[in-house]
Structure 1
């Protein structure tokens, strides 16, 4: 959908170049600017929406604490059984 804004902005710019009326020129340039900004915002929204993380993959604080405790226990066990030379 946001690509349609870009095409309309290009069309408004082409019309601005072809017109001889100052009022139509100002209206077309303003429309082209607004449509271009809408295109950029739509492109940004599509890019941000595509890079979102899955909410089900997130860990709650209790699970995160449990994983940290497990990692610390493994580290302590490896330090205790490792060579100390």
Structure 2
């Protein structure tokens, strides 16, 4: 769609160059300026639209809370497994040092 504005601006500029009336030339130059501005703004809008995130990928607050709770539970279970492994290693260490 922005390219249509550029085409309109070029056509208006061509008409302005070939116009014999000063009023027609001024009107065509104003149309060419407006078409050029609309073209640039259209390109910028397309660029921003292409880089924006998909709204369907956003999480609602309840889903975010559920994910945080799951992560906290995983972290807590990982800490308890690490603590159990450390306790097992600490219990095995004194027996190993008496054999040396």
What is the TM-score of this pair, normalised by structure 2? Answer: 0.62
Gaps of 5+ in 2: 87-100
Gaps of 5+ in 1: none
Gap change, CA 1:52 and 1:77, over 3 Å in 2: closer
Tell me which residue corresponds to 1:29.
Answer: 29
- Higher relative contact order (CA closer than 8 Å, sequence separation 6+): 1
Structure with greater helix percent? 2
Tell me which residue corresponds to 1:16.
Answer: 16
Residue 20 of structure 1: how far off its partner (Å): 4.1
Q: Over alpha carbons, which structure has the higher Rg?
A: 2
Instruction: Output aligned runs, 1:25-64, within 5 Å.
Output: 25-50=25-50, 51-55=52-56, 57-64=57-64
Gap change, CA 1:44 and 1:52, over 3 Å in 2: farther
TM-superposition CA deviations, 1:24-61 (whole Å, max 9, x none): 22111100111122223333444444445142x33221
How many residue pairs are counted as aligned between the two chains? 82
**Greater mean alpha carbon deviation, residues 40-49 or residues 13-22:** 40-49
Q: How many angstroms apart in 2 are the aligned matches of 1:12 and 1:37?
A: 13
Query: Any idea what SS the aligned residue of 1:41 has?
Result: helix
Query: Any idea what SS the aligned residue of 1:13 has?
Result: helix
1:69 equivalent to 2:69? Answer: yes
